[in-house]
Amino acid sequence: MTGRTVLDQLKPKHQVFVAEIGAYEKGKIKQPEPPTPLPAFNDSQVRGHGLKIIGQYDNLYIFCQSSDGLLVIDQHAAHERLLFEKLKKQFLHGTIARQTLLFPETVELSVADLQKVEQYGDEIEKMGFTIREFGGASYVISSIPALGRNMSASELFLDILEQFGASSGSKREGSLLEDVLASMACKAAVKAGDKLPTEEIEALLDNMVKADLFSHCPHGRPVLKNFSANDIKKWFHRS
Ligand SMILES: [Zn+2]
């Protein structure tokens, strides 16, 4: 069994994700490798993603059988990647999908946070937040990014403001925005320790296929690892 301390060391480094938003926008980002699609598992039980789910290990890793062996997926890393790419696409094409709150929340902002709202108002809006002044240092939040619907609106908003401040000054705006979106994706993604029902695992695999996550060398922390049938044979001295 892997200890918690080892898992903690594996926390992702968001800044390694892709390149800056400006480059992405101009189509400068190249795919790291030509696709080498995973061969489908030939079984009538499996769905479109072509993998046979074996199960979840340690509420963190999804084990699947492919036609080429054993595939292990880090559920948080995979989901976070999917959400990050989705958020980035939405942001670049206008605005991130938002969710109107039934009960708008009021937050009291510090002087530093008020400055950030002033400076990054447009970006905050594009990220799916609808805010308006409510007298003094108070703001009313009436919508949040749709994927944040299970989170407290004020907590999410304050966290995003904190991200804007974390690297002010030296950082270029593009990578600053990426860090904010990456943080949003991390918060909304399934966690290490979440027990996933089979339907959720199926949906995750389907979305990974659609996003081509199986055929590209991942940036930063690996999302999956394939153990080929041959390697497994060799471990057991079979030929
Ligand atoms: Zn994360």
Q: What is the CATH number of the domain that holds 31?
A: 3.30.1540.20
> Tell me, what CATH number does 101's domain have?
3.30.1370.100
On the question of pLDDT at 17 being above 80, the answer is no
Give the distance, in angstroms, between the CA of residue 3 and the centroid of all CA atoms in the same chain.
Answer: 24
Domain co-membership, 184 together with 196 = no
> CA angle 154-156-162, nearest 5°?
100
On the question of pLDDT at 120 being above 60, the answer is yes
Q: Distance (Å, rounded) from C-alpha 115 to C-alpha 111? A: 6
On the question of pLDDT at 26 being above 70, the answer is no
Average pLDDT over residues 140-146: 95
Higher pLDDT pick, 236 / 178: 236
pLDDT for 175 equals 81
pLDDT for 14 equals 36
On the question of pLDDT at 218 being above 60, the answer is no
Ligand 1 geometric centre to CA of 234 (Å): 34
pLDDT for 32 equals 46
pLDDT for 221 equals 79
Domain co-membership, 17 together with 78 = yes
Domain co-membership, 131 together with 211 = no
Domain limits at 59?
4-88+192-235
Ligand 1 geometric centre to CA of 42 (Å): 33
Domain co-membership, 34 together with 76 = yes
On the question of pLDDT at 74 being above 80, the answer is yes
Q: Distance (Å, rounded) from C-alpha 230 to C-alpha 239? A: 8
Give the distance, in angstroms, between the CA of residue 30 and the centroid of all CA atoms in the same chain.
Answer: 20
Q: Please answer whether residues 124 and 76 qualify as being in contact, where contact means their C-beta atoms are separated by less than 8 angstroms.
A: no
Domain co-membership, 78 together with 107 = no
Across the beta sheet with 138-145, the strand order is 98-108, 138-145, 130-133
pLDDT for 31 equals 41
Domain co-membership, 80 together with 107 = no
Domain co-membership, 108 together with 176 = yes
Domain co-membership, 102 together with 60 = no
Counting residues of the chain whose pLDDT is more than 70, the rounded percentage is: 74
Q: For residue 172, what are the contacts with CB-CB under 8 A and spacing of at least 6?
A: 20, 22
Ligand 1 geometric centre to CA of 238 (Å): 39
Domain co-membership, 41 together with 69 = yes
Helix H or strand E segment including 80: helix 75-92
Instruction: Extract the tokens encoding 1.
Output: 């069994």
Ligand 1 geometric centre to CA of 166 (Å): 17
Q: For residue 3, what are the contacts with CB-CB under 8 A and spacing of at least 6?
A: none
Ligand 1 geometric centre to CA of 88 (Å): 16
Domain co-membership, 101 together with 181 = yes
Q: For residue 195, what are the contacts with CB-CB under 8 A and spacing of at least 6?
A: 56, 59
Domain co-membership, 110 together with 49 = no
Domain co-membership, 59 together with 27 = yes
Q: Distance (Å, rounded) from C-alpha 211 to C-alpha 100? A: 27
Q: Please answer whether residues 35 and 44 qualify as being in contact, where contact means their C-beta atoms are separated by less than 8 angstroms.
A: no
Number of domains in the chain: 2
Chain segment 169-193, per-residue pLDDT in tens: 556 667 888 888 988 898 889 999 9
Average pLDDT over residues 101-110: 95
pLDDT band at 163 (very low <50, low <70, confident <90, very high): confident
